[in-house]
């Protein structure tokens, strides 16, 4: 399960706010986005190796971690492509840390996870 997960560190570095961009140097150990370590440590690089179901939860309005992160993860794995595994809605976690889904995509995708 990916809850606002980052799939491509380089893409995040290019799209993120200036404030959050400093985190990448600490997390990755490099500051130059062209450094090969960004690709090596990005989950998207290893997406083709997925062998288990993955649930991707992402907010369509997220400005810090844009929806493209989940969409590229789904597109990067042949086993995920075409599957109803990505939920991109206006759902927001509530104070009780539970999702309040606001899009029909949740209902159509959640059924496969309960089987």
Reported as a single tens digit per residue, the pLDDT across 69-86 is 877 777 777 666 555 445
CB-neighbour burial class of residue 104 (10 A; exposed 0-12, middle 13-18, buried 19+): exposed
The pLDDT of residue 40 = 93
Q: What is the CA angle 51-69-115, rounded to 5? A: 40
Q: What pTM was computed for the model? A: 0.63
In angstroms and rounded to an integer, the radius of gyration of the C-alpha atoms of the chain is 15
Confidence class for position 90, pLDDT limits 50, 70, 90? low
**What gap in Å lies between CA 62 and CA 110, rounded to an integer?**
21
Q: Which residues of 35-53 are buried (b: 16+ CB within 10 A; e: fewer)?
A: eeebeebbbbeebeebeee
What is d(CA 86, CA 83) in angstroms, rounded to the nearest whole number? 8
CB 57 within 8 A of CB 106: no
Spell out the domains of the chain, with CATH numbers in brackets. 2-113 (3.40.50.1820)
């Amino acid at each position: 399960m990916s809850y606002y997960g980052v799939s491509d560190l380089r893409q995040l570095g290019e799209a993120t706010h200036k404030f959050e961009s400093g985190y990448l140097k600490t997390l990755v150990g490099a500051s130059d986005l062209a450094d090969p370590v960004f690709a090596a440590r990005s989950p998207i690089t290893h997406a083709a190796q997925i062998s288990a179901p993955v649930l991707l939860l992402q907010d369509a309005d997220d400005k810090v971690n844009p929806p493209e992160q989940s969409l590229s993860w789904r597109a990067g794995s042949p086993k995920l492509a075409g599957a109803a595994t990505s939920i991109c809605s206006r759902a927001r976690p509530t104070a009780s840390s539970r999702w309040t889904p606001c899009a029909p995509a949740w209902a159509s995708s959640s059924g496969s996870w309960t089987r």
